[in-house]
Amino acid sequence: MSLSLLPLSYCTNVHPGRSVAEVEDGLDRFTVPVRKHFCQPLAAGLWLAKPVVNELLGQPDGVRRFADGLASRGLTCHTLNAFPFGDFHSARVKENVYLPDWSTDERLTYTSQCAEVLAALLPEHADGSISTLPLGFKRLPHSADFLDRTAGQLVNAARFLDQLRSRTGKVIRLAVEPEPLCIVETTPEAIDFFRRLRHHAEKAGLLNAANTHIGLCYDVCHQAVEFEDVTESIRALDEADIRINKVHISCAIELERPAENAAGRLALRQYVEPRYLHQTTARVGNAEVVREVDLTEQFIDNPGPLFADAPSWRIHFHVPVDVHRLGPLSTTRPDLIKAMTEIAELEYAPHLEVETYTWEVLPGAGPGDLVEGLTRELVSTRKMIGEIS
């Protein structure tokens, strides 16, 4: 099957969205102008934080009026980002973005509410997807039975989504998004967890519902930071019958030859910032991947022998997907092209969403650059899809 024929989307988590009014302001200031510059159909890949969902569901006809507003702006919606629960634009997000984790009722309730909203926003005869966090963050405390508790909660989510399909006729698929230093970060970890999930689902008599409604969001930046062969990764997931419900089209930073690349290390210091977590990795001689929890100036200056002697570092900092180089730094765009080429070989078509949420913290970028930058990313992505298909 060819790559998705649905309109491309970019994720609106790049805009502040702490209320319905703020979400709609972002659509007016950025998404609508991007659609006009893109000159092609554009979907809104909406991030709806918990307060926004509460507001939509708490007002009479709140969701219907929001849906009418999307239509009046010439926008459709087929995917939500329900990874960030709260304020994704506070001064410091970092590890807070992984809370509440998937062992909690809070996460299940919020995700279910997002599905209710999306079911009302979807066009006729269209399926929906919702990306969500990879269970939790490894550096935060967890109970001994954490994996079983999260598997149980995801089975509950599958039950809810199956009931929602019966009520509304809308198929909505949850997409767990592996990320560096999270409970699910590598492809083998994803495969192992889905075995556990299916065991719990089978015990509950919900195996078909879990297989239908629970899959992965494949964020290409994240798997590139893990130094995975993205082609083999996608094939392994397909062989394990794990559906990729959504693809985040994204690129990471790469610093080549860090020991001798003084200009690259100096340039990398510009990407140290206080809001988001920028997990940093290197692959050492025996193919082991070593990890640093965040990019800091102290780490760049004193990385320790394993990182200092590594051939390259990769940094979880989403950078524009149309860019091959950032001065003396490179990006993982070659991995993006490989991943999209393999995605095109699947027997189904995942939702496609550009997710460069870091424009506010990119060195030298300003608010006036956002419409132009997002448009360049979408044009480049559409061109890449045309060359692959």
What residue spans define the domains of the chain? Answer: 8-251+332-388
Q: Could you give the dihedral angle defined by the CA atoms of residues 224, 226, 228 and 233, in that order, rounded to the nearest 10 degrees?
A: -90
Q: Which amino acid is at 134?
A: P
- For 8-251+332-388, CATH gives 3.20.20.150
Closest CA to 131 of 60, 179, 89, 167: 179
Of 19, 75, 78, 28, nearest in space to 49 by CA: 19
- pLDDT for the residue 3: 84
Whole-number pLDDT of residue 366? 62
Residue 32 CB coordination number (10 Å): 18
Between 146-168 and 187-203, two packed helices, what is the crossing angle to 10 degrees?
Answer: 70
Report the distance separating Cα 141 and Cα 99, nearest Å: 12
Which pTM was predicted? 0.98
Contact 307, 258 (CB under 8 A): yes
Give the separation between CA 295 and CA 177, rounded to whole angstroms: 21
Compute the distance between CA of residue 260 and CA of residue 263 in angstroms, rounded to an integer.
9
CB atoms within 10 A of CB 307: 21
pLDDT for residue 364: 81
What is the chain's pLDDT, residue by residue, as a tens digit (389 residues)? 568 889 999 999 999 999 999 999 999 999 999 999 999 999 999 999 999 999 999 999 999 999 999 999 999 999 999 999 999 999 999 999 999 999 999 999 999 999 999 999 999 999 999 999 999 999 999 999 999 999 999 999 999 999 999 999 999 999 999 999 999 999 999 999 999 999 999 999 999 999 999 999 999 999 999 999 999 999 999 999 999 999 999 999 999 999 999 999 999 999 999 999 999 999 998 889 999 999 999 999 999 999 999 999 999 999 999 999 999 999 999 999 999 999 999 999 999 999 999 999 999 876 568 999 999 999 999 999 999 98
Q: What is the CA radius of gyration of the chain?
A: 20
Which residue type, as a one-letter code, is found at position 317? F
Structure tokens at 44: 């809104």
Coil, strand or helix at 31: helix
3-state helix/strand/coil string of 172-217: EEEEECCCCCECCCCHHHHHHHHHHHHHHHHHCCCHHHHHHHEEEE
Angstrom distance (rounded) from CA 47 to CA 22: 12
pLDDT at 367 (0 to 100): 55
